[in-house]
Structure 1
Amino acid sequence: MSDQSKPLYVRVNAAKCCGYTTCADVCPELYKLDAQGFAFVESDVVPAGLEAKAREGAAACPEKAIYVGEVLPND
């Protein structure tokens, strides 16, 4: 589990997302789908208690379109 004093960040690369929906199948609390079935997140910060599921959902993405980590990436 992540250190509770450090936030865990998440980003979906919209250009890489192909709409497989596996992330949302694993963690629907975090990964949302737009009208076309592409993933997005409502916040860059993973809510407390969803760290493991956030990582699992990212790992399930066949296109590796999701970043989860302790450092917020520069886009």
Structure 2
Amino acid sequence: MTVDVFVDKDLCQGHARCNLICPEVFDLDEHGFAVVLAQEVPPGHEGAVEDAVQNCPEQAITIK
């Protein structure tokens, strides 16, 4: 099963929780806002990505 991850740059406020929870998928840009390293989630990291989605205070992360 393939899962795609997206960060809405208009909503992200740079809390960096996603990067702390799943650094294999999320990184921070030079301004501290979330960017997706791997739009397709690496095997075994699906749960961590779901945790990142749930922990985003701005609800800026979506998965499909």
**TM-score of the aligned structures, taking structure 2 as reference length:** 0.92
Distance 1:41 1:58, change over 3 A: same
Larger Rg: 1
**Unpaired segments ≥5 residues, structure 1:** 1-5, 70-75
**Unpaired segments ≥5 residues, structure 2:** none
Runs of 4+ in 1 over 6 A off after TM superposition: none
What is residue 15 of structure 1 aligned with on the other side?
A: 10
Q: 1:53 aligns with which of 48, 56, 62?
A: 48
Percent identity over the alignment is 36
**TM-score of the aligned structures, taking structure 1 as reference length:** 0.80
The aligned length equals 64
